[in-house]
Amino acid sequence: MDTESLYKTAKLLMTPGKGILAADQSVSTMNKQLEAIGATPEAETRRLYRQLLFTAPGIEKYVTGIILYDATIRNHTDDGTAFVDHLIAKGVIPIIKVDKSTVPFEGFPGEVVTEGLDGLKERLEEYFKMGARAAKWRAVVNIGDGLPTLDSIKFNCMLLARYARLCQEIGLVPIVEPEVIYEGTHDLARAEEVTTLTLRTLFTVLTQYRVDLKATILKTSMVLSGSKNAKPSTPEEVAEATLQTLDNAVPNSVAGIVFLSGGQTPEQVTANFNAIGKLEKESGGLPWALAFSFSRGIEQPVQEVWKGKSENVSAAQQKLIEVLERNCKADAGQL
């Protein structure tokens, strides 16, 4: 394990003033997004959309890395340049999503487990050869009546630990993503309780399985009341609960923390992220760098401008840069 290279990559990914773009939607998710804007849900449309994102002029000023799906890392621009090579030439680190999504967790009604460990070592080695230098694995934690169970959280954290350790052995920085689902009727206090429990469990297990936290990035949910709760959280409440949770649950040695947008609207997630940035400034700084790693929170406005039409590519790329710049300002609490 080349720890120095891992530390260097992790540091580059957490470069202040920039974030990570999550462009790793699965084929089915991407097709739904294309249908929503009236575009044809097929492989060529998906390639054109990813090309629009990756070739946007100046994107490297705002992102350190882009998370890719398996089909995307194997794809190319119109002139035949591999997407990976195009990003590396811009100084953007290719990150690969390696989990194979969630399935129901037998014996645990209402809970899910993430698949993808089978053959993972060989896949990671292939991705490394293709140019990826970081990876991502997502676990899902649902809040509900009697949910989550500690056993389910622990099991998913063990899978994250196995994935993370394999990544580091091969030379990839693991991004560990235990997403606490926003959907639900739970209040802010319950969201904070579950997120704190999940993160504490995660880092206990990662340490137990000898994952180097200095070469590990956490991708986490913001702490906010459920989408169906009668009292939506204000940005200030989200910021306070989120930073309190991180302070209570995340070891100082972790390389950095990035936030997922997790079902929030682009406007909502940026407002919450800005409040976190402001509170961070007021607190005099944190042990870790914070950044965004949004998918819907960045891409939805871009898709709405593009609509799958070639004549809208330039305007959509301009919208992408606007949204990225806005979130970079939010990171510093400057909106």
Catalytic residue from among 219, 278, 280, 319: 219
Report which of 246, 271, 270 is spatially closest to residue 257, judged by C-alpha positions.
246
User: Which DSSP string do the residues of 251-312 spell out, in sequence order?
Assistant: -TTSSEEEE--TT--HHHHHHHHHHHHHHHHHTT--SS-EEE--SHHHHHHHHHHHTT-GGG
Tell me how crowded residue 85 is: count the other CB atoms within 10 A of its CB. 14
Overall size of the chain counted in residues:
335
12 burial class (0-12, 13-18, 19+ CB within 10 angstroms)?
middle
Q: Tell me, rounded to whole angstroms, the distance of Cα 47 from its chain centroid.
A: 21
Burial class (CB in 10 A: 0-12, 13-18, 19+), 145: exposed
Q: Which of 177, 192, 280, 299 is catalytic?
A: 177
DSSP secondary structure, 230-254, as one string: SSPPPHHHHHHHHHHHHHHHS-TTS
In the numeric block, the tokens 């120095």 are attached to: 4
**112-114/102-104 β-pairing:** antiparallel
Q: How crowded is residue 187: how many other Cβ atoms within 10 Å of its Cβ?
A: 17
**Residue 219 annotated among the catalytic residues of the structure:** yes
Catalytic residues: 177, 219
